[in-house]
Amino acid sequence: MQVLNNFSLQQYNTFGIDVSSRYFATFSDERTLQEILEYRNQLPVDANAATLILGGGSNILFTKNYDGLVLKNEMKGIAVVKEDEEYVYVKAGAGENWHQFVLYCIAQNWAGLENLSLIPGCVGASPIQNIGAYGVEIKDVFDSLDAFHLQDKKMIHFTADDCAFGYRESVFKKQCKHQFAICSVQYRLRKRPLFNTSYGAIEQELEKMGVHELSVKAVSDAVIRIRSSKLPDPKVIGNAGSFFKNPEVPSVIYDKLKQQYPSIAGYTLPNGNVKLAAGWLIEHSGPKPGVSWKGYRIGNSGCHEKQALVLVNLGGAEGNEIYDLSESIIASVHEKFGVLLEREVNIL
Ligand code: FAD
Ligand code: EPU
């Protein structure tokens, strides 16, 4: 066990924000985690109180130095726990890279994760915001997880019901926020695929690729191609994916907006409400009349030119610059459309 002081987090967050943590340590097994937590008791009270479990740092915006203990989860391992005729139950360590894990499952021809290809970050964070893309969310393939309670120092088993998954939500973003280190996640994958290509762009991409017979690999490749064409690679331009959630509004509000703005993008949910495309709302509002946020730059922060929902660090941005840009976007979208955007990214 090694606890480092004043450790730079610049390489540990995909926005590439240059901040540091007062204390930093990594753990790859439960015993080391326990040891670090024991050691934490000797730290000054304020640092002792603040503990952040870090995965790939791809859904975090640091606005200041972290005045506490950052623990990078590096628990590894992939194993089949059980199987039956239809399903294979696969357990993965929280520190496994998400996309590498998806590729591993695809190579075994296990189905269910292909639409979630190329999402940055680690396995352990996948249930935190119930990651989703192209019509699939983690909750659709989730079986259970094991998480270590940071105060009570014991392992707790969570079923899907315990996790209370919602759109980009779970119990770990609400009542259990920052209380647990998720150590492993178990997924229930299909031996015979049930493809979900309902998201129009996938069908079109498969067509372009000349695929006539569906396979998990082909769907994964299509998703990778679509994502690479519009989402900025964090290694090149700092970002954390969608900065805001797509807002849900009652259908009467949507109908009024649609009358005024016929091109507005949205789709009806099973509860009758409409999910609006935040990217559309941001693209169609801006810092001043006639100017769109899309591709707009303020200092070193900006709104991506191909995807207005993605805020970017154009080089050397401070977390607060990006946060302030998000405030301005929220205000202008609200002023123009009366819709309040909620941030998806965790602000620290
Ligand atoms: P981090 O950013 O390290 O952490 C996120 C939160 O989870 C923090 O609060 C952290 O404390 C907590 N946390 C992380 N690991 C653990 C753990 N083991 N135990 C307890 N708490 C933990 N998301 C989507 O849902 N769909 C997308 O399509 C998508 N596309 C993206 C595209 C790009 C280019 C980028 C940069 C991001 C995208 N994201 C997307 C967001 C992000 O990849 C996911 O939210 C991912 O799950 C975050 O994983 P991470 O390991 O980087 O988490
Ligand atoms: N749009 C615009 N302008 C833009 C961007 C989008 O008008 O600049 C409109 C278009 O009409 C487009 C629609 O928005 O058809 C939807 O865009 P897209 O398919 O790119 O998806 P999204 O709603 O912007 C969501 C998720 C992504 C996920 C994709 C694919 C949220 C907040 N974001 O984005 O997740 O990868 O769908 O399923 O739900 C993330 O969470 O970080 C993330 C990237």
For domain 4-73, say whether CATH 3.20.20.70 is its number. Answer: no
Which whole-number Å values give the CA distances from 36 to 6, 43, 157, 165, 332, in the listed order? 16, 11, 22, 30, 45
Sheet holding 78-83, edge to edge: 78-83, 87-93, 180-190, 142-149, 155-159
Whole-angstrom distance, CA of residue 308 vs CA of residue 285: 10
Under DSSP, the state recorded for 122 is B
**Residue 190 tokens, joined:** 């299909």
Average confidence score pLDDT of the chain: 96
Instruction: Could you please state the CATH topology (level 3) that the domain comprising 238-347 is classified under.
Output: 3.90.78
Which ligand is in closest contact with the Cα of 130? Answer: 1
- Are the beta carbons of 26 and 71 closer than 8 angstroms? yes
Whole-angstrom distance, CA of residue 202 vs CA of residue 211: 11
3-class DSSP assignment, residue 251: helix
Model pTM? 0.97
Instruction: Give the position, in ligand 1's atom list, of the atom nearest the Cα of 60.
Output: 2
Whole-angstrom distance, CA of residue 142 vs CA of residue 335: 39
Q: Could you report the per-residue pLDDT of 60-93, keeping only the tens digit for each?
A: 999 999 999 999 999 999 999 999 999 999 999 9
What is the sign, positive or negative, of the torsion defined by CA atoms of 33, 168, 333, 302? positive
Phi, psi at residue 238, to the nearest 5°? -60, 130
Sheet holding 266-268, edge to edge: 248-249, 274-276, 266-268
The reported pLDDT for the residue numbered 46 is 64
* pLDDT(4) > 70: yes
Q: Beta strands 66-73 and 20-27: pairing type?
A: parallel
257 alpha-carbon distance from chain centroid: 29
The CATH number fitting domain 78-230, selected from 3.10.580.10, 3.40.1410.10, 3.30.465.10, 3.40.50.170: 3.30.465.10
Protein residue with its CA nearest to atom 29 in ligand 2: 133
The reported pLDDT for the residue numbered 49 is 65
The length of the chain is 348
* pLDDT(94) > 80: yes
The reported pLDDT for the residue numbered 273 is 97
Q: Find the residues whose C-beta lies inside 6 A of ligand 1.
A: 14, 52-60, 73, 94, 119-122, 124-126, 128-129, 131-133, 180-182, 231, 234, 239-241, 346
Locate the domains of the chain by residue range.
4-73, 78-230, 238-347
Ligand 2: centre distance to CA 200 (Å):
13
Question: Which amino acid would we find at residue 264?
Answer: I
Q: How many CB atoms lie within 10 A of CB 49?
A: 12
* pLDDT(96) > 80: yes
* pLDDT(48) > 90: no
